[in-house]
Amino acid sequence: MTTTTLPDAGTAYERKPATYNATLTQVGRGTPMGELLRRYWHPIGVSADASEVPRKVRALGEDLILFRDRQGRPGLLYPHCAHRGTSLYYGRVEDGGIRCCYHGWLFDVQGHCTDQPCEPQGGLSRDRIRQPWYPVEERYGLIFAYMGPPDRKPVLPRYAALENLAQGEFIEANDQSIGGGGPQVIPCNWLQHFENVVDPFHVAILHSSFSGTQFVPQMGVMPEVTFDYTDAGVSATAVRRLDDGKTLRRVGEAALPTLRVIPSPRLAHYGTVESLGWVLPIDDTSFRIYTAGRVRRAGDIARSRSRMNGKLWEELTEEEHQRMPGDYEAQVSQGPIAWHSEENLATSDRGLVLLRRMFKQQLDIVAAGGDPIGVSFDPDAPPIVFAAGNFLE
C-alpha cells in the first residue's frame, strides 16, 4: 500500500489548457505555413502512380486525382468534374486526357475541356470551362506538383546527390515513408517528423539504448552535436568518439521546406548522403515520405526500412510496439499536433529551435511578398549540394 506523504505539488489538476502553434503546423491553402509550403514543388507520387487508372492523392490538405494520359503525360486535377461534380476517380483515360463518367466531359492534363458529348456539336462553350489543375513534373522516379501561385512557380530543383552517379549506380524512388518508422501514412503533423531530422540525440536513446540496437552499435554512443544554419535549412553535426580511437562525424540536414538529408544510420558506406527524403504533409494531421536515392540493386531502398527483432512495423504486436518503440511511436504519440505550450525545450533541442526560427523568417518573407529560401527561377541553376554524410576520421 502506498501513502503519499510529501506535499502534493505539481499535480495534473493544476495544469493549463494545452495549445499548439497553428502557424508552424497547418498546411491548408491560405494559412501561413500552407502558403510557404506552396512556394515549393512537392512529390505527390512515384512515377508508376500516374497511369490509366485514376488515383486519389491527398497533399497539403487538398484532394486531387492523378492520372497519365495515353500520350504519357501525367495530370493532376481537382477531383470534382467542372460540370456537375462527379469525381474523375471514375473517369476514363484517353489519348487527350480524362473523361468524366457521368456526362462524358473530357479534360486534358492542364484542365482544358475538349469535349462535351451531350451538348450540341460537342459543346460550343466548352472553351470557357477549366477543370482546376496543378502543374506536375517527373524527376528521380517521382512526380512533383507545384500547388502555389502560378506566377511564383520556381524551377524543380536538381540535387548533386542524385545527379552524380558512380559506375553501376542508378536512382530508385520509394513511397514507403522510409525513416518514418511506421506505415506509409503516418497520423500526426509533419513538423513532428521534420524536427526529428535535426535531433541527433534521440538516436542514442530511442534507437539504441531503448529498443535494443536498431541501427548499428556506434549509433548508441552519445554524440557531441553542433547545429548550424545552411543555405537551405539547418544541419546537425554529430561527432562520436569510437572505441577504436577513430571519430565518426555524421552530418544531417533539414532543408526547407521538407527535405530530409540524412545519411544512412546503418553506416553501410561512408561518404556523402546517398538518398533524399521529401516529407509530404498530407494534411494537418498526417504525412508521408517519398525517397529517392542512389542504389546498386533494385529494392535497396525498400530494404532499408527499419525492423525490430526482424519484424517490420506492421508485423509487431501492440506489446512489441510498446516495448520497442521507434520514430513512429515517439512522434505519433505526441498527438495529432504536438502541444507546443507544454514543451520544455533543453540544450539538446537546439536543432529544432533553429529550424522553427528559420521557418518563421521565411513565413515573414512570404507574407511580405518575397520568395523564400532555396527557390530558384533559373532553369540552368546547378544541382544543389549538401554537406550531409557519414565520415570516419
Other CB atoms within 10 Å distance of the CB of residue 56: 12
Residue 320 binds a second copy, judged by CB under 8 A:
no
Q: Which of 61, 122, 135, 336 binds a second copy (CB under 8 A)?
A: 135
Cis peptide before 325 (omega within 30 of 0): no
CB of 155 to a second copy, least distance (A): 10
Q: How many angstroms separate the CA atoms of 204 and 216, rounded?
A: 11
Task: Give the C-alpha separation, 53 to 67, whole Å.
Answer: 7
Binding test (CB under 8 A) with a second copy, winner from 22, 23, 90, 311:
90
Q: Which is nearer to a second copy, 149 or 217 (CB)?
A: 149
Measure the CA–CA gap between 202 and 110, rounded to whole angstroms: 45
CA separation for the pair 334, 179 (Å, rounded): 17
User: Is position 360 an interface residue for a second copy (rule: CB under 8 A)?
Assistant: no
Return the residues of window 112-131 that contact a second copy according to CB under 8 A.
116-120, 123, 125, 129-131
Taking the least distance from each CB to a second copy, the nearer of 302 and 353 is 353
Q: Which of residues 220-279 bind a second copy (CB under 8 A)?
A: 222
* Only segment of 209-217, 234-242, 274-282, 286-294 that touches a second copy (CB under 8 A): 209-217
- Tell me which residues in 148-207 interact with a second copy (CB under 8 A): 148-150, 153, 201-202, 204-206
Compute the distance between CA of residue 254 and CA of residue 195 in angstroms, rounded to an integer: 8
Q: How far apart are the first and last CA of the chain?
A: 56
| CB nearer to a second copy: pick between 67 and 272 | 67
Q: Which of residues 340-359 bind a second copy (CB under 8 A)?
A: 342-349
Q: How far is the CB of 346 from a second copy (least distance, A)?
A: 5
Do 327 and 179 meet the contact criterion of CB atoms below 8 Å apart? yes
Q: Which residue has the cell 475541356?
A: 113
CB of 271 to a second copy, least distance (A): 27
Nearest CB to a second copy, comparing residues 95 and 244: 95
Using rule CB under 8 A, residue 12 touches a second copy = yes
In one-letter notation, the amino acid at residue 56 is: K
Among 24, 44, 66, 82, binds a second copy (CB under 8 A): 82
Task: Return all residues near 243 (Cβ < 8 A) that are at least 6 apart.
Answer: none
Whole-angstrom distance, CA of residue 159 vs CA of residue 293 = 11
- The nearest distance, CB 89 to a second copy, in angstroms, is 6
Q: Choose the stretch contacting a second copy; rule: CB under 8 A; options: 137-145, 161-169, 179-187, 250-258.
A: 137-145
Stretch that binds a second copy, among 11-19, 240-248, 302-310, 364-372 (CB under 8 A): 11-19
CA dist list (Å): 66 to 46, 124, 201, 313: 11, 28, 39, 28
With CA atoms as reference, report the closest residue to 198 among 238, 248, 254, 240.
254
Query: Any idea of the CA torsion for 245, 248, 249, 251, to the nearest 10 degrees?
Result: -170
- Rounded Cα–Cα distance for residues 276 and 289 (Å): 10
Cα separation of 291 and 312, whole Å? 18
Site for a second copy in 16-75 (CB under 8 A): 18, 29, 38, 53-54, 62, 64, 72-74
Q: Indicate the residue among 97 and 325 with the shorter CB distance to a second copy.
A: 325
Number of chain residues interacting with a second copy (CB under 8 A): 97
Which residue from 31, 41, 138, 262 is in contact with a second copy, where contact means CB under 8 A? 138
Tell me the closest approach of the beta carbon of residue 96 to a second copy, in angstroms. 15
DSSP one-letter code for 87: B
Q: Does 210 bind a second copy (CB under 8 A)?
A: yes
* Residue 110 found at the interface with a second copy (CB under 8 A): yes
Specify burial of residue 250 (Cβ count, 10 A radius: 0-12, 13-18, 19+).
buried
Report the residue from 237, 304, 331, 362 that binds a second copy according to the rule CB under 8 A: 331
Minimum gap (Å) between residue 23 Cβ and a second copy: 18
Is residue 95 close enough to count as binding a second copy by CB under 8 A? no
d(CA 113, CA 61): 25
